[in-house]
A = this chain, B = another copy of it.
Amino acid sequence: MALQNDLIVRAALGEAVERTPVWLMRQAGRILPEYRAVRGSLSGFKELVTTPELAAEVTIQPVDILDVDAAIIFSDILEIPEAMGLPYEMVEKKGPLFNKTVQSKADIDALKVTDGSELQYVIDAISITKKELNDRVPLIGFAGAPWTIFSYMIEGQGSKTFSKARKMLHTEPELSHQLLQKITDSTINYLKAQVEAGANLIQVFDSWAGILPQDHYKEFSLAYISQICDAINDVPVTVFAKGAYFALEDMNALNCNTIGLDWNMNVANARSIFKDTKTLQGNFDPCALYGTEEQVKEKTIEMLQKFEGARHIANLGHGVYPDTDPEKVKVFINTVKEYTSK
């Protein structure tokens, strides 16, 4: 069955589009009262993630309410460590917390490579979403990049410096590679299952890319992202490496279609690196959505002008912040649609 709106897929493939497609990272979430209503009735974030009907419901909300050009499955990048044997809790207002972390070779050996079966609830959520979306827009599947998952497995939570995870790269490079490979194998299986269930695009989030020096980023992160890109052949792949401005040239060699840019990346510089070989996604400052409607419109046009003539998918340069007014988000989305339809 053909997608009624396949703008994002065509933009990712570098094909002609009638206008620039637009969606928002974290569009399904706390900015929408409709999401908070679903979430408020539950025991916690994880009940929502692990209940396919509910995950599908909040996945589709922004398509109905905000009229974005894609849905992204409601889930978390930390489902992968959980499937491998490291469960996490989501602590309200604090973020994820792992009670057990990886400290030794024995810990790594004890982790399983998931074939995706432990994450059947995500696969089911994708199937239900696909059915309910009824091909109105594409559905994006996703996973964390192996380096970012590795960081959480070692640190057990977020960190300002990620110095424990980075210490391991220095002191135990071989063990680090073993763990990264296990994460990568799991991630490939998981993403293939997502595509099998109907995901039309895949995005890989490397949230902690910006913390590594250039040589380590190449060796311990890009090498594994590259394996993922090579393994996913049936749908376009986007790589969003937040803060990895220093790696953009190396990323040109990735076998992916789209590169996500964060809000302080220089668009002209990215265009000169990727030319017409990749689509660029981004990079509106999420804090610019705090301005007036007039300011949001003006800033959105400023952003669009920087991408004029390039392969582009409009998005923020980071996930939308929870206290953002959905009306401002609509101004952003409508401005992209109107301005680029001309």
Q: Which positions in A face B, CB cutoff 8 Å?
A: 158, 160-161, 163, 166-167, 169-171, 210-214, 216-217, 243, 245-246, 263-266, 285-288, 290-292, 295, 317-318, 321, 323
A95 nearest CB neighbor, chain B only: B160
A286 nearest CB neighbor, chain B only: B163
Given contact pairs A161-B318, A211-B264, a sample of 16 additional A-B residue pairs in the complex whose CB atoms are under 8 Å apart:
A158-B160, A161-B286, A166-B287, A166-B290, A170-B290, A170-B291, A171-B292, A210-B243, A210-B264, A213-B264, A213-B285, A217-B264, A243-B243, A245-B246, A246-B264, A246-B265
Contact assessment for B167 and A264 in the assembled complex, using a CB-CB cutoff below 8 Å: no
Contacts of A214 in B (CB 8 A): 264, 266
Alpha-carbon distance A91/B166, docked complex (angstroms): 25
Contacts of A166 in B (CB 8 A): 285, 287, 290
16 pairs of residues in contact across A and B, judged by CB atoms under 8 Å: A158-B160, A163-B323, A166-B285, A166-B287, A166-B290, A167-B287, A169-B287, A170-B291, A170-B295, A171-B291, A212-B264, A213-B263, A213-B264, A216-B285, A243-B243, A246-B264
A288 nearest CB neighbor, chain B only: B170
Contact assessment for A321 and B161 in the assembled complex, using a CB-CB cutoff below 8 Å: yes
Contact assessment for B290 and A321 in the assembled complex, using a CB-CB cutoff below 8 Å: no
Contact assessment for B287 and A163 in the assembled complex, using a CB-CB cutoff below 8 Å: yes
A162 nearest CB neighbor, chain B only: B287
A161 nearest CB neighbor, chain B only: B321
- Min C-beta distance of A129 to chain B, whole Å: 28
Alpha-carbon distance A66/B341, docked complex (angstroms): 64
Alpha-carbon distance A323/B166, docked complex (angstroms): 13
A324 nearest CB neighbor, chain B only: B163
